[in-house]
Amino acid sequence: MVYNERDARHEHVIECAKQMMTAARTAPKAKGVDLIEIAMLTDKDVINLSKSLHQIGEDMGRGGLMRDADNLLSAEAVILIGTREEPMMLNCAYCGFATCGERPEGVPCAMNTIDIGIAVGSACATAADLRLDTRVMYSVGYAAGKLGLMPGCKYIIGIPVSASSKNPFFDRKRKV
């Protein structure tokens, strides 16, 4: 039997994206408290996310968001990594306030934000090891949040994933 890479590519990308999700899950978290949520979108859900992001870009007059929306259409999957908000009560002052008790409502706990960054880094490192094309996009996470795709998550980052001859998520032209 002969397997052509083109025929197996989509299935392979999806399996690799699942490994990215595992890497994000197993990434270290502040105080060992896991507030991270992870999801993968494919097919029509990627198209719907792209349409939503494009509309957000139009509404805000932000060409970069519309460019990112168009860029999503090159993704075979999109990984979403979000975090729920819960202060770690470390009084680390990384949020800009001396103690957790002084931190006003609406100011994120820096540890939650750091955790999402570590999870995103772990997922992207796995993608690099597997030779996948990715790009970290705050805009994609913002649109996912507006669509309610990750209930309870205040901050979300999106990572489109593909396997192509050239990474479609770089050397992009900005829309006006």
Give per-residue pLDDT as tens, 115-148: 999 999 999 999 999 999 999 999 999 999 999 9
168 in a structural domain:
no
Cα–Cα distance, 171 to 39 (Å, whole number): 27
Token output for 78: 């999109």
Helix (H, G, I), strand (E, B) or coil at 64: helix
Cα–Cα distance, 20 to 124 (Å, whole number): 7
Tell me, what CATH number does 140's domain have? 3.40.109.10
Task: Give DSSP secondary structure letters for 6-48.
Answer: HHHHHHHHHHHHHHHHHHHHHS--GGG---EEEEEE-HHHHHH
172 in a structural domain:
no
Residue 157 structural domain? 5-162
Give per-residue pLDDT as tens, 32-63: 999 999 999 999 999 999 999 999 999 999 99
135 in a structural domain:
yes
52 in a structural domain:
yes
174 in a structural domain:
no
158 in a structural domain:
yes
pTM over 0.75: yes
93 in a structural domain:
yes
129 in a structural domain:
yes
pLDDT band at 155 (very low <50, low <70, confident <90, very high): very high
Find tokens 């800009």 and name the residue. Answer: 96
How many domains does one find in the chain?
Answer: 1
